[in-house]
Structure 1
Amino acid sequence: MSVLDSPVVAMLRAVVALLCLQACALAAPTGGAPWSASGHGRIINGTDASIADFPWMVSLQLDGDHWCGASVIGDSWALTAAHCVFRHEVANMSMRAGTSTRGSGGVVLNVSQAIIHDEFSNISAEYDIAVVQVCEPFPLGPTVQPVVLPADGYDPPAGLPVTATGWGSTRDGGAAEELQSADLEVLPRSECEARLGEIHEVTASMLCAGHPSRAVCHGDSGSALVHAGTQVGVVSWGNPSCLSPVAVYGNVASARAWIRGATGV
């Protein structure tokens, strides 16, 4: 056996490959922690949630595995984060809808196109919003329903109670197959700027929300932040460790006109 064929070298190759995979999965937006990819775990300190209570939630999948969250906004359209679809082939995307379990149940639909906001920046995370169209209409019913979108220009005030849902990672990395929810509140942008400003500037295209002990994390990107059934935010980025009382969301109202122009919704 040559040195190149030794078990030690094989193990090192495997480790390097794993690290490369993880690095690629968490690559955008540059500098931040885009919360897609791990597909394991749940919102930190969240609780099990029923899809019947959040029927707009869908799992955006790459090659059949959960990658990001998304929300149904029309018969054949869903809203997600731009970095979730940036540089990915539509042919590799699908959506699982109508189930609380990210890997089973409901219905899986192929994706026909993904449109990224015209002003999205992979460097600054500005307008981290995209819309995705499925090949066949969503089977609307008790567990699949569009979320309400806010009026153009609405700016959620600090203190507004909001709920985040998703299939993202826990603090300890433990896996949970069931949809999770966490009650948070909108915070002044200045608070996210103070805590996260070294990563990205927090602008009007972004929304700041959080809680002292609950947080979104990797795998939650693209998921909805809602108030009373209206989606005000899209999970975008935050502290790489996720252990922060604040996180940044795409501000849906700031992109409302663009969403309408791209989808007719």
Structure 2
Amino acid sequence: MKVFITILALAVASASAYESVVHPKDLPKVTKIEGRITNGYAAPEGKAPYTVGLGFSGGWWCGGSIIANDWVLTAEHCIGNADSVTVYFGATWRTNAQYTHWVGRDNFISHSNADIALIRIPHVDFWHMVNKVELPSYNDRYNDYNEWWAVACGWGGTYDGSPLPDWLQCADLQIIHNSECASYYGTGIVGDNIICVRVVDGKGTCGGDSGGPLVSHDGGKLVGVTNWVSGAGCQAGHPAGFQRVTYHLDWIRDHTGISY
């Protein structure tokens, strides 16, 4: 069953005018390949060395981004009630990582008011298969990135109802104005902390991509953390939403000391 985000601040009458959204990790899955793969492309080895796979003790899969030798950024809804997570580093083939680390719940830091979280990891050394992605600088904190192109990567479903692919997938996506995104979902969902992308020809995030990165083509900065897609499905052609990283720079700095 799909788990829909409910925004209590929306009145019932106004809520009915907008679409619902769903966390990608909660989309239903199938056990066999069916339909047409339309979103994304198989990533060449080393394409996104900052992308990690997160296998949580509850049995679900999410993505994340290495932002320092000892920190990963992901979505809060990925953390859930998990007691631990296995972090897959440098994997192009989903479970064939360069190495893995087990991390207990005492290393999870969840945001109290937004769908973003941190995972403290054992120190990892960087090389071409495992590396960090830089956050936007404080000089860019008011950049809305409207109409910029960015790339999202992960091991999420390659179409609605898809099983998780084995090979890392990426999709090049264009960031849109929040007003365009809010026309689908309302301002109760699309607040200042959200950044949205157009979904064209089915290209976008899907089941299993929760918590994964959205990285700008220009400058290679982490601008979004995968949060939700349309309740109508990944391939419905409606915008997908991410936590806007520039909105959370202070929170990230306060917990990790990372800032530019």
TM-score, with structure 2 as normaliser: 0.80
* Distance in 2 (alpha carbons) for counterparts of 1:193 and 1:236: 15
SS at match of 2:24: coil
Deviation at 1:233, TM superposition (A): 0.3
Contact 1:164–1:223 (8 Å) recurs in 2: yes
Percent sequence identity is 31
1:223 corresponding residue in structure 2: 212
The aligned amino acid for 2:209 is D
| Structure 1 contact 44–216 (Cα < 8 Å) conserved | no
**Mapped partners of 1:246, 1:104: distance in 2:** 32
Q: Deviation at 1:27?
A: 3.8
Cα distance in 2 for residues equivalent to 1:254 and 1:37: 25
Task: State how far apart, in whole Å, the 2-side matches of 1:107 and 1:28 are.
Answer: 34
Aligned residue number for residue 257 of structure 1: 250
1:234 and 2:225 aligned: yes
Cα-Cα RMSD: 2.4
Structure 1 position 247 matched with structure 2 position 234: no
Q: Secondary structure at the match of 1:115?
A: strand
Q: Deviations over 1:151-208 (max 9, x none)?
A: 232333321011111111122534421111111111011111111229x521110001
Q: Is the aligned partner of 1:111 residue 2:100? A: no
- How far is 1:140 from its partner? 1.8
Size of the alignment, in residue pairs?
A: 230
C-alpha distance 172-186 of structure 1, shift in aligned 2 (>3 A):
closer
Note if 1:143 corresponds to 2:132: no
Letter in 2 for 1:159: E
1:29 Cα offset (Å):
4.2
Q: Is the 8 A contact 1:224 1:235 kept in 2?
A: yes
Report the TM-score when normalising by structure 1.
0.79
Which position in structure 2 is the counterpart of 1:12? none
Task: Give the counterpart letter for 1:183 in structure 2.
Answer: D
Structure 1 stretches lacking a partner, 5+ long? 1-22, 121-127
Partners of 2:157 and 2:176 lie apart in 1 by: 23
Cα gap change, 1:172 to 1:118, in 2 (>3 Å): closer
Assess if the C-alpha contact under 8 Å between 2:193 and 2:243 holds in 1: yes
What secondary structure does 1:238 align onto? strand
Q: For 2:49 and 2:58, how far apart are their aligned partners in 1?
A: 21
Larger Rg: 1
Measured in 1, the distance between the counterparts of 2:80 and 2:191 equals: 21
| Bigger helix share | 1
Partner of 1:47: 41
Q: 1:201 aligns with which of 182, 189, 200?
A: 189
SS in 1 for 2:230: coil
- Structure 2 residue runs of 5 or longer lacking an equivalent are 7-19
* Contact 1:223 1:234 (8 Å CA) reproduced: yes
The answer (yes or no) to whether the contact 2:212–2:226 under 8 Å persists in 1 is yes
Shift of residue 144 of structure 1?
A: 0.6
Report if aligned partners of 2:57, 2:82 keep a CA contact under 8 Å in 1.
no
